[in-house]
């Protein structure tokens, strides 16, 4: 009897091990050999599997599989698709090379003059909204952001739309209309940037712990490490990465019978050339910005939650200073007024292709080929009906 139990245990052991096995994955910088904290690991469905810790390490549950497939992302590195067998692996990421953005140095602008000027960031944005991993909206275009040159508060910075496209899934929108109770959760378009640079906002909201002769700073929410600010002299760039995971301290909102559970908020920025002082990186040297938010959403009459994800990216093309009196901020063509329509030039696609950006996730690419419809001026516009 004892022998039979031992044999049974030996037979079941591989099954138990395979179902509980984890992959130990460490991410390294391919040039410096240093580990890469706060790199995001995505699954094959573009879902976030996890984020590397301060030592560039992440443990991934294999869930009974013999290998892991996914993508490694970090704002300072080129994304990398991986397929890993075994339970211990290392991945090398190649640092991105920033294209030169020509701008007059902020040091040449006297402080008195700065108070009368705006920093204008001209660039390309792309954004999409997923519901249960299905693309509902995709929008991209060229815009101008306007920031006070001498800094500002937490008010959203004005954004001027130059040309843009919006695609939408009409089938999903019709299904949404058919629900007895209908409250929309929508957010697509240029990232939400404020008058005050993000690093300043982060330093006001969280604890900053400087490291390595002020070339690195950990961002702490109470005792939890949620991000880092890093300056890399050899590459002449700096980066900001913040990942707020609400899974252990749920952020719940209730309204009109609806319940929203916020799960994650991630934002990143890349700067170059880097500022001499770590905390001085801002709009006068920012090259790109991205933001991701995830929540679960349902009405009390529904059994299952819908998973809603919002992605926003912005890539700087040009940067210049402008006297405030030269721009009428009340006359801007703002995104909220045109988001459900499209207006772009014949060279729009060529301009986008010339930027050489990484491909969109399959969940969006496939729908752009079949499922997402280009919104025109004649398309339904909720704001136009008010």
Return the domain boundaries, the chain.
2-93, 106-385
Alpha helices in 233-347 (DSSP H): 335-338
3-state DSSP call for residue 281? coil
Check if the beta carbon of residue 132 is closer than 8 Å to that of residue 176.
no
Three-state SS for 282?
Answer: coil
Q: For the ranges 48-57, 161-170, 250-259, which has the lowest average pLDDT?
A: 250-259
**Confidence band for 106, pLDDT divided at 50, 70 and 90:** very low
The confidence band for 169, taking pLDDT boundaries of 50, 70 and 90, is very high
Q: For residue 373, what pLDDT band results from cuts at 50, 70 and 90? A: very high
CA distance 202 to 198: 6
Question: What's the mean pLDDT in 88-117?
Answer: 68
Instruction: Note the pLDDT of residue 271.
Output: 95
Highest mean pLDDT, choosing among 143-147, 151-155, 277-281, 376-380:
143-147
CB 383 within 8 A of CB 375: no
Write the CB contacts of 170 (distance below 8 Å, at least 6 apart in sequence).
373
Alpha carbon 46 to chain centroid, angstroms: 13
Tokens 């590195």 map to which residue? 77
Contacting residues for 369 by C-beta, under 8 A, at least 6 apart: none
Counting Cβ atoms within 10 Å, is residue 124 exposed (0-12), middle (13-18) or buried (19+)? buried
User: Rounded to an integer, what distance in angstroms lies between the CA atom of residue 171 and that of residue 168?
Assistant: 9
Distance, in Å, from the CA atom of 119 to the CA atom of 104, rounded to the nearest integer, reads: 11
Domain 2-93 has CATH 2.60.40.10: yes
Instruction: Output Rg (C-alpha) for the chain, integer angstroms.
Output: 23
What is the band of 217 on the pLDDT scale with cuts at 50, 70, 90?
very high
Q: Please determine, for residue 245, whether its predicted confidence score (pLDDT) is greater than 90.
A: no
Give per-residue pLDDT as tens, 219-234: 998 888 899 999 988 8
- Report the range out of 22-31, 98-107, 242-251, 277-286 with the highest average pLDDT: 277-286
Whether 22 shows a pLDDT value over 50: the answer reads yes
Identify the bridge partners of residue 67 per DSSP, sorted by sequence position. 85
What rounded mean pLDDT belongs to the chain? 83
Confidence of residue 16 (pLDDT cuts 50, 70, 90): very low
The pLDDT value given to residue 183: 62
d(CA 310, CA 313) in angstroms, rounded, equals 10
Q: Tell me phi and psi for residue 115, to 5 degrees.
A: -65, -20
């Amino acid at each position: 009897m004892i022998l039979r139990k031992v044999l049974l245990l030996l037979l079941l052991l591989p099954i138990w091990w395979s179902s509980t096995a984890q992959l130990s994955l460490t991410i390294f910088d391919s040039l410096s050999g240093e580990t890469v904290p706060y790199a995001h690991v995505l699954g094959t469905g573009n879902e976030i599997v996890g984020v590397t810790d301060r030592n560039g390490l992440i443990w991934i549950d294999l869930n009974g599989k013999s290998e892991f497939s996914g993508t490694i992302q970090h704002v300072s590195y080129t994304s990398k698709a991986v397929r890993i067998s075994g339970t211990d692996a290392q991945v090398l990421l190649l640092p991105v090379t920033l294209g030169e953005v020509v701008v007059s140095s902020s040091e040449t602008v006297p402080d008195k003059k700065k108070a009368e000027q705006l920093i204008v960031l001209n660039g390309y944005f792309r954004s999409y909204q997923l519901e249960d991993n299905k693309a509902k909206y995709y929008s991209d275009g060229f815009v101008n952001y306007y920031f006070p040159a001498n800094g500002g508060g937490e008010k959203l910075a004005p954004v001027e739309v130059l040309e843009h496209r919006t695609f939408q899934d009409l089938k999903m929108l019709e299904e949404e209309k058919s629900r007895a109770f209908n409250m929309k959760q929508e957010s697509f378009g240029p990232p939400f940037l404020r008058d005050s640079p993000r690093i300043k906002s982060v330093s006001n909201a969280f604890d900053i712990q400087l490291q390595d002769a002020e070339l690195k700073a950990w961002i702490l929410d109470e005792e939890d490490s949620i991000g880092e600010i890093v300056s890399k002299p050899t590459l002449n760039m700096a980066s900001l990465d913040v990942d707020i995971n609400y899974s252990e301290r749920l952020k719940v909102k209730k309204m009109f019978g609806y319940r929203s559970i916020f799960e994650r908020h991630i934002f990143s920025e890349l700067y170059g050339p880097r500022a001499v002082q770590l905390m001085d990186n801002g709009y006068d040297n920012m090259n790109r910005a991205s933001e991701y938010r995830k929540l679960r959403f349902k009405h009390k009459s529904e059994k299952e939650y819908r998973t809603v994800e919002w992605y926003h990216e912005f890539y700087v093309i040009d940067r210049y200073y402008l006297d405030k009196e030269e721009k009428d901020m009340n006359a801007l063509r703002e995104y909220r007024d045109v988001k459900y329509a499209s207006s772009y030039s014949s060279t729009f696609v060529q301009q986008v292709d010339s930027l050489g950006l990484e491909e969109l996730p399959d969940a969006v690419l496939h729908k752009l080929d079949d499922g997402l419809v280009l919104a025109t001026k004649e398309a339904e516009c909720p704001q136009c009906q008010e």
